[in-house]
A = this chain, B = another copy of it.
Amino acid sequence: MTTPAAPRQPRSGCPISIALELLGDAWSLLIVRDLMFKGRRTYNDFLAGGEGIASNVLASRLRKLEGANIIEKRSDPRDARRYIYRLSPKGIDLAPVLVDLVIWSARHVQTDAPPAVVRSMREDRERFLADVRRRWRTSA
């Protein structure tokens, strides 16, 4: 007799567990990175500039991130058929995580990250984060 498909039990209240429920996949944090560091903000930006995400998967991740209030979507005032995605306050607060991920990668796997940027992240972390946040705030 076959089991009637139990739909993945909910996770514990452990903070990391909950965070990974939102971000624990191959693409979500890449979209956040695109928004935070690469100046990408439209569907086609992500599609072309990401590392080859499929369009259906992209749409699904954007929905999920928006549903979790990590990103916000609104239509471009200058072009009605275009939407602009933007990090929410909750989304920009992921900056420390991404910065640490860059530092870790630079140390342990070879990357194409400019050493000067990585050094600035590591040696002047608070200032780097403040800059990220300021750029985000002023680009409203």
- Chain A: residues with CB nearer than 8 A to chain B? 9, 11-22, 24-27, 29-30, 33, 51-52, 90, 93-94, 96-98, 100-113
CB-contact partner of A26 in B24, B108, B112, under 8 A: B24
CB distance from A39 to the nearest CB of B (A): 14
Most chain B CB within 10 A, of A13, A15, A20, A29, is at A15
Roughly how many angstroms separate A51 CA and B11 CA in the complex, as a whole number? 6
27 CB-based A-B contacts, threshold 8 Å? A9-B51, A9-B52, A12-B112, A14-B33, A14-B113, A15-B109, A15-B112, A15-B113, A16-B29, A16-B102, A17-B30, A18-B111, A19-B101, A19-B105, A21-B26, A24-B25, A24-B29, A25-B25, A25-B26, A90-B108, A93-B104, A93-B107, A94-B104, A96-B100, A96-B103, A97-B101, A100-B100
A30 touches B16 (CB 8 A): yes
Q: Across the interface, which residues of B come within 8 angstroms of A96, CB to CB? A: 100, 103-104
List 6 extra interface pairs beyond A20-B29, A93-B108, A94-B104, CB under 8 A: A15-B113, A17-B51, A20-B26, A22-B109, A97-B97, A100-B100
A54–B55 Cα gap in the complex (Å)? 30
> Judging by beta carbons under 8 Å apart, are A97 and B100 in contact?
yes
Q: Please give me the residue from chain B that is nearest to A99 by CB atom.
A: B100
Per the bound structure, the CA–CA distance linking A96 and B100 in Å amounts to 6
